[in-house]
Copies of this chain bind each other. A is one copy, B any other.
């Protein structure tokens, strides 16, 4: 039995997220099917975490075990040959059984991309959330700073009851930057709640629009209640950017 670690990029537009679901086409399933075709073995791929319907990844990490001894590069090439070009295995390596894509991960970084202008070019529209109203990035930065650290993030998850253990998380980074018409929200943590990054982005966008004051960030956080003040930003702007081990 050999364990392989793979790094995967994908355009999530046409997929029902990462995780295998009945009657849906998912990233995990596409790769599992390809490996089965090539090796003849039924494999289960373990990702560093799920990404939702329509969310992209620059560098998702996953592992799987197969019995066949194959040159990693040959396996990578074979898989990439039979899957659509909107999913690519970027790199592959043999790892020990001690490595686990989810459990060994130290932290994850997501980036959320907003196009703050009149229109998105045809070459980027799948990857940017369009906000025409000029956003106040200084206010967004101010709100973001209040959310960094170890808190109960119940107010920033789509379903707090889904968490079995706790809704307390450590947000190591929450950064807002502007470069021309592009605004990027970068967030890193050793564990995110369900739809947490899109909830943070949704809230920061409202702050940028002037709909809520940046000072309310702490208040919303302390309320520990998810309300309409925190919308979930669209999936298309979100990328799983980096997993740290």
- Seen from chain A, the residues whose Cβ lies within 8 Å of a Cβ on chain B are 9-11, 56, 58, 80, 85-88, 90, 119-123, 125, 127
Contacts and interface: CB of A to CB of B under 8 A. Distances in A.
A121 B85 CA distance: 8
B80 A10 contact: no
Contact of A125 (B86, B121, B127): B86
B122 A87 contact: yes
Contact of A9 (B9, B56, B90, B121): B121
A228 B70 CA distance: 38
23 contacts: A9-B121, A9-B122, A9-B123, A10-B122, A11-B122, A11-B123, A56-B122, A56-B123, A58-B121, A80-B119, A85-B120, A85-B122, A85-B125, A86-B122, A86-B125, A87-B122, A88-B119, A88-B120, A88-B121, A88-B122, A90-B119, A90-B121, A123-B127
Contacts of A11: 122-123
* Oligomeric state, in copies: 2
A23 to B, nearest CB: 23
Nearest to A73: B118
Contacts of A58: 121
Given A80-B119, A90-B121, 18 more contacts: A9-B121, A9-B122, A9-B123, A10-B122, A11-B122, A11-B123, A56-B122, A56-B123, A58-B121, A85-B120, A86-B122, A86-B125, A87-B122, A88-B120, A88-B121, A88-B122, A90-B119, A123-B127
